[in-house]
Amino acid sequence: MILFWIWTSVLVIIALCFAVLPLFRRTSDEGAKKRDKLNKAFYLDRVAEIRQETETGLVADEQPLMTELKQSLLDDVPTDGTVLQRSQPVKRGVVAGLILLVVFASYGLYLTLGNYRQLGHWQQVARQLPELSKKLMQPGGNPLTSQEIQDLSLALRTRLSQTPNDATGWLFLGKIALASEDATTAIGAMVKARLLAPDDQEIMVGYAQAMMMAGDEQQQSQGASLLQSLVDQGSSDIRIYSLLAFHAYEQQDFAKAIHLWQIMQSLLGPEDHRYLMLAKSIASAQDKMKSAQEVSAGAISVGISLSPELRNLPRQGVVIVSVHTQEGRTMPFAAARFPLRSFPMHVRLDSQNVLISGKKLEELTSFIVKVRIDLDGNVTTQTGDFYGQTQMLNRDKTIEVVIDKQY
């Protein structure tokens, strides 16, 4: 804040110099100066001419001419005799008023248009960093509010701008971002921490957690791979197994999630209050796995490719795959929509895609598979859509569909 007042004072003083100093300048009659110079030059030239004419005999008596010349020069001199004069005295009230005007206008504009409130809040938050950090670390204390978390993040950023090589500080900032579900900030902070301390397991876990929070599947996979490498190295950190189990559950790899939760149970022991929570998670995953197995019973896998003549497809659209019990029947037995991506592509239909109530996909012994690239997203219109279909197939045959026609 001291620097702020110093710099603003310097700028105001400079502004005052431009505003006040012109009032004290001396003023001069530039026209009178030029006139005197011209008269003097004219007088000297005329004197030289008269003397030359006298020497050549053109003028018999030069005295009258010299007297007349001097009289004409005197006639051009101002009667008050003032050539250079001082401006009128400046009143103190005018100077004081001008100074006050500049000062109040400068700081008034800053108060109106500036960010002094944000600046004051930022400086206050920077001073509160130890207090906020202590409150965050205090076990059993009141949790930080969302505003306090934002303030703590701002204070940390301020300190890290001054000490950028503080790996612990970057780790702390990343954890705060994780608590706020700010994946972008968390990843950025953890990356800086890893560059400073690449072998620190705490930082590696934080970085992996930030990656797995991101919406990008590739980043999530990288985070899971990093955690798995720590497990392979013999780490028994319960957080690593918890993150891996949750990721496996989200990916519907229920068997892996169950295995990881069982390892966590063995690490914690039955006396830990988290043991029963893990048992509930395992039971939930087992139910999900059983349901998935029932749904996948009789599932149909379809490989889809394009005819060489249809290589230039639009980038927008959806792929509609339908299963029919007989040729010509409008209502499909099962159908699903998939995003349009590169070909060849493989898709899978299961009992969740059956459109007829009470029916299951495993009941079909023979069927026709149709594939259509719907360009406008409207299933009722077909004009311009590309499509392909199989002949009547038995379930034991490999299903491959080539898109080779256009409506």
pLDDT value of position 394:
80
Check if the beta carbon of residue 153 is closer than 8 Å to that of residue 174. no
pLDDT value of position 204:
94
pLDDT value of position 84:
45
Write down the pTM of the prediction.
0.53
pLDDT value of position 32:
64
Task: State the pLDDT confidence band at 57, using cuts at 50, 70 and 90.
Answer: confident
**Burial group, residue 39, by CB count within 10 angstroms (0-12, 13-18, 19+):** middle
The number of angstroms, rounded, from the C-alpha of 118 to the middle of its chain's C-alpha atoms is: 20
DSSP secondary structure string, 70-107? HHHHHHTS-SS--SEEPPPPPPHHHHHHHHHHHHHHHH
Check if the beta carbon of residue 372 is closer than 8 Å to that of residue 335. no
What is the per-residue pLDDT across 136-156, written as a single tens digit (0 to 9) for each?
665 555 666 777 777 777 778
Task: State the pLDDT confidence band at 30, using cuts at 50, 70 and 90.
Answer: low
Rounding to the nearest 10 degrees, give the CA dihedral for residues 287, 290, 292, 294. -140
**For range 301-313, the mean pLDDT:** 81
Check if the beta carbon of residue 340 is closer than 8 Å to that of residue 373. yes
Whether the per-residue pLDDT at 60 is higher than 80: the answer is: no
Domain boundaries, the chain: 2-24+33-78+93-111, 300-406
What is the per-residue pLDDT across 354-404, written as a single tens digit (0 to 9) for each?
888 888 877 888 889 999 988 876 777 778 888 899 888 887 677 899 988
